[in-house]
Amino acid sequence: MRNAEATRERILDAAMAEFSAYGIAGARVDRIAKTAGCNKNMIYIYFDNKETLFSTILQKHLTRVYEELPFTPDDLPGYATRVFNFAMTNPDLIRLMAWSSLEQKTESPAERGTIHDLKVAALLQAQNAGQVNKTFAPGFLLTAIMALATAWTASNPFGPSLDPDSTKNPDELRNSIAEAVKLITQGDTEKHEQ
């Protein structure tokens, strides 16, 4: 049984690299099997097809994200910087998510929609409690925070490819993201105080 689990994990690791590099359509089961050091048929035994393998990998890594990055509506700038740090250190996962959105050949894990809805509800609750300004709808805020936090990943066409100098100082970039999130979620308190 140990060998079966080890083989399954090798397949998942090899598939993560393959899918993040080539997407679902461009990924090749032959290459995954070769990298995993197993017979191609083993992939079909464990996962039925390429799309199921992709979905399994996406779900596994999204679960990890949810565990490692708890949503904190009381500290949205801090949340954005944690997402930024995670995205910059996990480019394969960011590319995997981009491929998932681009190709739309597999269903997004149901948990992803549920987690999104919980975050939007938490933002609405924070707005109603006066912790977050109500200038923007909670769904818009969440999308804006995630877009800011992941904008400088290698897979974003508007990030480092257009502004390669922006990633030279990650601390400055991280601070700018936190400040931008603060402004869109709390407003410019200095203006209101004057």
How large is the average pLDDT for residues 116-128? 94
> Which pLDDT band holds residue 194 (cuts at 50, 70, 90)?
very low
Residue 99: which of 64, 138, 50, 148 has the closest Cα? 50
| Residue 120 near residue 142, CB atoms below 8 Å | yes
Q: Which residues contact 23 (CB under 8 A, 6 or more apart)?
A: 99, 102, 103
**Residue 166: its pLDDT value, please?**
63
Domain positions in the chain are 50-193
How large is the average pLDDT for residues 108-130? 86
What's the pLDDT tens digit per position in 31-56?
999 999 999 999 999 999 999 999 99
**Residue 193: its pLDDT value, please?**
41
Query: Any idea how long the chain is?
Result: 194
Q: What percent of the chain has pLDDT over 90?
A: 61
How large is the average pLDDT for residues 108-129? 86
> Which pLDDT band holds residue 191 (cuts at 50, 70, 90)?
very low
Can you give the pTM of this predicted structure? Answer: 0.82
50-193 falls under which CATH superfamily?
Tetracycline Repressor, domain 2 (1.10.357.10)
Tell me which long-range contacts 166-173 makes (C-beta under 8 A, separation of at least 24): 170/88, 173/84
**Residue 192: its pLDDT value, please?**
40
d(Cα 83, Cα 152) in Å, to the nearest integer? 11
Q: Does position 135 have pLDDT exceeding 60, yes or no?
A: yes
What's the pLDDT tens digit per position in 53-73?
999 999 898 888 888 999 989
**Residue 98: its pLDDT value, please?**
87
What's the pLDDT tens digit per position in 80-100?
999 999 999 998 998 998 888
